[in-house]
Copies of this chain bind each other. A is one copy, B any other.
Amino acid sequence: MAMRRIVLLAGGVGGAKLAHGLAQVLAPGQLSVIVNTGDDFWHYGLRVCPDLDTVMYTLSGLVDPVNGWGVAGDTIAMLTALQRYGEEPWFRLGDQDVATHLLRTQALRGGSRLTEVTARLSQALGVSTQILPMTDDEVGTIIDTVEYGELAFQEYFVRYRWQPTVKAIRFAGIETARPTSEVEAAIVEADAIVLGPSNPWLSIAPILAVPGLRALIEAQPVPRLALSPIVAGRALKGPAAKLMAELGWDVSASAVARYYGDLINGFVYDVRDAGADVKTKNAVTFDTIMKTDADRAALASAMLEWIESGVVV
């Protein structure tokens, strides 16, 4: 079975890397990435969508290769100028990055849907992958912390560098958020659905929490894989491991598989965890650490071959 349409659910850096791997090995137009927008926020009057931009910058080749987000070689003259006015900006807005936020904000204020403006911007950058916000409605991930009570996501993540202890997570506005027709069509038409190696609680959960999306994904009679962001008991990047422990999970690939439960019918985890007791029916180990472009393509290839072999479903 040749895979014609792949849907990837993604957050920021990790999901973007896998998206890039898949984009390298698939034909143009075969990949749709459904991106978390729970991290989006208003900052200095700009609508900032960190995960969408990380995916877009990664797929267009603009991304800063060291950070994995932002534009390579970007400067912060605007941010520095803000400080002259007594501002203490805690979220990095690169000068080139601001162009993205300005165009997006102007389009949204003019009545465009986030899906439309994301398509326009990514196409202008030569990205042939379909980048889809999980919803056009504003949803905000809220982190309830021991130290500070509830924090908006970027305050938790950037301002406090994910050091506060997490008690609970909720997605403000999710009850009234609607899935877009583009997201629904991509899921329904998919030959395989992949939950990227993004943070399950912070990046994938908001997507699944959009009313109807989890059920729609679960209803698809196709391979539905997740990749573990936990390798050898540690997060590849960011707060996933720390968060799992704080929420009472053991920090392991098998716990990630357990968290996704019946939503998935296949699970990819790292060769370094080959001895782990992963309970999921169809599980496979690959080298999931993507340092180079070739690593990304190799993982994508291996995963697609595994799916196409018919093991899953």
A73-92 interface with B by 8 A CB criterion = 74-75, 77-82, 84-87
Q: Which residues of B contact A79 (CB under 8 A)?
A: 99
Query: Which of A103-111, A170-178, A284-292 is found at the contact surface with chain B?
Result: A103-111
Q: Which of B45, B98, B100 contacts A109 (CB 8 A)?
A: B45
Q: Which of B44, B45, B77 contacts A95 (CB 8 A)?
A: B77
In the assembled complex, A71 has its CB within 8 A of some CB on chain B: yes
Q: Which of B74, B78, B102, B121 contacts A99 (CB 8 A)?
A: B78
Interchain CA distance A109-B120 in the complex, whole Å: 26
In the assembled complex, A124 has its CB within 8 A of some CB on chain B: yes
Interchain CA distance A98-B120 in the complex, whole Å: 23
Q: Which of B71, B105, B125 contacts A85 (CB 8 A)?
A: B125
The majority secondary structure among interface residues of chain A is: helix
Q: Nearest chain B CB to A146's CB is how many angstroms away?
A: 32
Q: Which residue in chain B gives the minimum CB-CB distance to A98?
A: B78
- B44 touching A102 by the CB < 8 A rule? yes
- B80 touching A77 by the CB < 8 A rule? no
- B74 touching A87 by the CB < 8 A rule? no
In the assembled complex, A96 has its CB within 8 A of some CB on chain B: yes
- A124 touching B75 by the CB < 8 A rule? no
In the assembled complex, A169 has its CB within 8 A of some CB on chain B: no
- B105 touching A45 by the CB < 8 A rule? yes
In the assembled complex, A222 has its CB within 8 A of some CB on chain B: no
Q: What are some 24 contacts across the A-B interface (CB < 8 A)?
A: A44-B106, A45-B102, A45-B106, A46-B102, A62-B84, A75-B75, A75-B95, A77-B77, A77-B94, A78-B78, A78-B95, A78-B96, A78-B98, A78-B102, A80-B96, A81-B95, A81-B96, A81-B100, A84-B99, A85-B103, A85-B121, A85-B125, A86-B124, A87-B103
Q: List the 10 closest pairs (A to B, CB-CB), nearest first.
A: A81-B99, A45-B106, A77-B95, A81-B96, A85-B124, A95-B95, A82-B99, A44-B102, A78-B95, A78-B98
